[in-house]
Structure 1
Amino acid sequence: MRTWFFARRAWSRWDTLDVALAVGLWLVGVVMLPSGVTGPPRAWQEAVLVAACAAIACRRRWPIPTVAVAATAFLGQVAGASPHWVATTALTATTYTLATTVPRHVAFAVGAVTLAVVGAGGTLLPRSLEQSALRTLLEGMNVRIPLLELTVIVTGVAAGDAVRHRRAYLAAVEDRARHAEHDREREARRRVAEERVRIARDLHDAVSHQLALIHVHAGVASHLFTRRPDQAAAALGHVRTASRAALDELAGTIDALRQPDHTTGPVEPVAGLARLRELIVALATAGLRVDLTITGSPRGLPAVADGAAYRIIQEALTNVCKHARTGSARVSLDYRTSEFHLVVDDDGVGAGTTAAAWMTGHGTRGMIERAATVGGWVALGPRAEGGFRVAAVLPAAEED
């Protein structure tokens, strides 16, 4: 059986209050019983009073059975002239609890049956036990219709349904609020994760390239320190220049991260294709000659795409310098109507038989992430004729 018929629920303070209310009504009802009534009529009135109070005490635990008990008590007071207000209170309370506890269609169905039974009983039952049914029929019956009691039933069900609807509405609002809070927390976690990735990518881009140059120049200086001091000194000068550039890049990254939330400035260090020739010159001092080819009509790219293009080229050339074991590389830029294509090729040792080894580095992941962030893509891998290729396609037009 459904729990709303025979409820299985833990005892609560509301049950205690119902019991206290029932005991109080019983005490008041006993005091108000007619003093001159004894025998079976007195016992009838007391039984009706106990039934009505019991229905009030148990209405939350057994909503449907207590409505039946309260309706029976009400009909008993009609037939036995018991205290009218106690049975009416019980019927009101139980129908109200019924409507707040069970589904709407069940509450309406039980309320309609109760309304029909109480209405018919209030019309057909004799006014007291001393008045027989046969005599009532012969005298035209008792045609008094208890309109007040019928109104009480309708009011109890309607009020309970309104409260149930209000509770359901508030529960839905709270549920939506919880879901909204959960979504906000999830979105906050996602943004934090994205920001961590961006910070890691910016720090890598700001430091890794310059450290690679420092490593190369330091090696040259160490190798030539005793044999060719002048060239060693030049290499150390390049180390100083590269370290200064690394510090500047790092400072720019930190300044970007320290910008307040309301700023309208860039949220990443400004580095674009305008610095490409400066990059090529710096790599030349490290022993890597870069040939630059430009096709199409050079023009300014969207800021994010321009920065992504520069960082992809920078990372690709840094990898050539670190891993390819070659002294030359080629950079091709192709400006098209809505796309910007870039290719970085080298003739070095490549990545072996597969490109998997190149996919584990932070810089490689950074290239892919930067391209995806602006709506582009990166493809990289060994070339059939030897060496390695990094190709990227980025949007070249501002979005409307």
Structure 2
Amino acid sequence: MNAPVWLVNRLRRLARRRTPTGWFDAFAVGGMLLLAWLVFDTMPAGPHPLVVGPGTVDFQGAQRLELAVVSAAPVVMCRRRPVTALAGLLVGAAWLTALGEGSTMSLVGAGALVSVVAASRPRWIGLAATITTFAAWTVLEFAATPGGPTPYGRLSNAVLLLAVAFIGGVLIRERREHGRALREQVAASAVTAERLRIARELHDMVAHSIGIVAIQAGAAKRCISTQPVLAAEALEVIETTSRETLTGLRHMLVALRRAENDRDSGAPMPGLDSLPALADNAARAGVAVRVRFDGERRELPAEVDLSAYRIVQESVTNVVRHADTGQCSVAIAFRPREVVIEVLDDGRGGLADAPRAGGGFGLAGMRERVSLLHGSFDAGPRPEGGFRVAARIPA
């Protein structure tokens, strides 16, 4: 027997596809062939009477196989049009029953399609498909045995099968929707985390530079008429700091725009090795920063190195802007499993904390950085005066 042309073309198209959808369609064709074989294997053999009229029929093996393939053919549409596939399969089952070649396997295949409908369509459509399939199953059972005993046993099996198919499809649909919701939630969380990271970077980078610019601009304004040399030095600091800030912002924008696989563009982010330059900038703003390293220095993970630098940078910025003191100390201790950061000043202490905690994001940003790295953070006035910032970061 020659295979139908549409089936040959369908198989050729599936063979050329390499997508997950193509694999699903290939499974659908395989399911159709399996159902056709089961229907063929369970068809009544030999001469038997027609159901729709007088007379007998006696289909041979090739003819019976063609009938089975045609009746099961709608299964190939189960991915794109599951409702149409179910309707076509029920029509095929009715056609076979009318010819006296009815098979229970056609109705079992319809039950499987009920599960597909319930999993891919709204719940009311799945429920309507289940009820329609049971009604058709009942009619075909009575039509196949006219005048015979009522097939209560087979109908009860049909109820059980269709109920399991409908519930299974609904559960699959709900699990898919739940997975989609989780993925959307994870994506939203990732976007929020990235926004917070960018906000912290911008704050730590810009706040430090703007603080120095503001102080130097005020100094230049006060002495421009009486001490022009000092005013010129302050303006030079403003120019240098502004250029460095613009460079840092440009590098950040490049890093945000570049592709994930482009590792060569942009400049490396600052780390603890950049603390001398940070101390020089603070000195230009009138605050001497003493940096001390304890323990054996080692290479730190990039995120730890950057966060440690940002914590020191923000702490020094707060000293420059709020502490009203001319010096502070920075201690970096390398422990076996962590890095300990401590920044001390002898400025206004508790008074300095008010603007920091009231309207700024410096302390909150430092605390977020340390929390993301599973460390501990503490900041507050010192009993002997001044302010202390301390962080412990696992590394």
TM-score between both structures, scaled by the size of structure 1: 0.59
Q: Deviations over 1:289-316 (max 9, x none)?
A: 0112221111211111010000000000
Identity %: 36
Alpha-carbon distance between aligned partners in 2 of 1:363 and 1:300, rounded to the nearest angstrom: 26
Distance 1:155 1:209, change over 3 A: same
Alpha-carbon distance between aligned partners in 1 of 2:341 and 2:261, rounded to the nearest angstrom: 34
Counterpart in the other structure of 1:45: none
Could you list the runs of 4 or more consecutive aligned residues of structure 1 that deviate by over 6 angstroms after TM superposition?
Answer: 265-269
Q: Deviations over 1:70-112 (max 9, x none)?
A: xxxxxxxxxxxxxxxxxxxxxxxxxx9xxx99xxxxxxxxxxx
Alpha-carbon distance between aligned partners in 1 of 2:192 and 2:387, rounded to the nearest angstrom: 31
Counterpart in the other structure of 1:339: 338
Counterpart in the other structure of 2:149: 149
Counterpart in the other structure of 1:359: 357
Note the 1:128-147 alignment, pairs <5 A. none
Distance 1:269 1:368, change over 3 A: farther
Q: CA RMSD in A?
A: 2.7
Note the 1:1-400 alignment, pairs <5 A. 148-149=148-149, 152-263=151-262, 270-352=269-351, 358-360=356-358, 361-396=360-395
Distance 1:147 1:293, change over 3 A: farther
What is the CA-CA distance between 1:266 and the residue it aligns to? Answer: 10
The residue type paired with residue 365 of structure 2 is: G
Distance 1:262 1:164, change over 3 A: farther
Alpha-carbon distance between aligned partners in 1 of 2:153 and 2:390, rounded to the nearest angstrom: 77
Alpha-carbon distance between aligned partners in 2 of 1:326 and 1:253, rounded to the nearest angstrom: 32
Alpha-carbon distance between aligned partners in 1 of 2:370 and 2:245, rounded to the nearest angstrom: 23
The answer (yes or no) to whether the contact 1:206–1:253 under 8 Å persists in 2 is no
Question: SS at 2:325's partner residue?
Answer: coil
What is the CA-CA distance between 1:262 and the residue it aligns to? Answer: 4.7
If you compute each CA radius of gyration, which structure gives the higher value, 1 or 2?
Answer: 1
The residue type paired with residue 179 of structure 1 is: H
Q: Deviations over 1:112-168 (max 9, x none)?
A: xxxxxxxxxxxxxxxxxxxxxxxxxxxxxxxxxx99525x21111112211111111
What is the CA-CA distance between 1:335 and the residue it aligns to? Answer: 0.8
Gaps in structure 2 of 5+ consecutive residues: 1-52, 54-110, 112-125, 128-145
Alpha-carbon distance between aligned partners in 1 of 2:253 and 2:293, rounded to the nearest angstrom: 33
The residue type paired with residue 210 of structure 2 is: L
What is the CA-CA distance between 1:377 and the residue it aligns to? Answer: 1.9
Q: Deviations over 1:147-197 (max 9, x none)?
A: 9525x2111111221111111111001111111121122212211211111
Gaps in structure 1 of 5+ consecutive residues: 1-31, 33-95, 102-145
The residue type paired with residue 328 of structure 1 is: Q
Alpha-carbon distance between aligned partners in 2 of 1:179 and 1:263, rounded to the nearest angstrom: 35
Q: Deviations over 1:195-219 (max 9, x none)?
A: 1111111111221111111111111
Alpha-carbon distance between aligned partners in 2 of 1:168 and 1:199, rounded to the nearest angstrom: 46
Distance 1:280 1:255, change over 3 A: same
The answer (yes or no) to whether the contact 1:294–1:332 under 8 Å persists in 2 is yes
What is the CA-CA distance between 1:258 and the residue it aligns to? Answer: 1.2
What is the CA-CA distance between 1:332 and the residue it aligns to? Answer: 0.8
The answer (yes or no) to whether the contact 1:342–1:393 under 8 Å persists in 2 is yes
What is the CA-CA distance between 1:264 and the residue it aligns to? Answer: 5.7
Alpha-carbon distance between aligned partners in 1 of 2:393 and 2:313, rounded to the nearest angstrom: 16
Counterpart in the other structure of 2:18: none
The answer (yes or no) to whether the contact 2:219–2:231 under 8 Å persists in 1 is yes
What is the CA-CA distance between 1:352 and the residue it aligns to? Answer: 3.4
Q: Deviations over 1:46-74 (max 9, x none)?
A: xxxxxxxxxxxxxxxxxxxxxxxxxxxxx
The residue type paired with residue 149 of structure 1 is: P
Question: SS at 1:244's partner residue?
Answer: helix
Aligned length: 254
TM-score between both structures, scaled by the size of structure 2: 0.60
The residue type paired with residue 317 of structure 2 is: T
Question: SS at 1:207's partner residue?
Answer: helix
Alpha-carbon distance between aligned partners in 2 of 1:344 and 1:371, rounded to the nearest angstrom: 15
Alpha-carbon distance between aligned partners in 1 of 2:190 and 2:265, rounded to the nearest angstrom: 17
Distance 1:394 1:379, change over 3 A: same
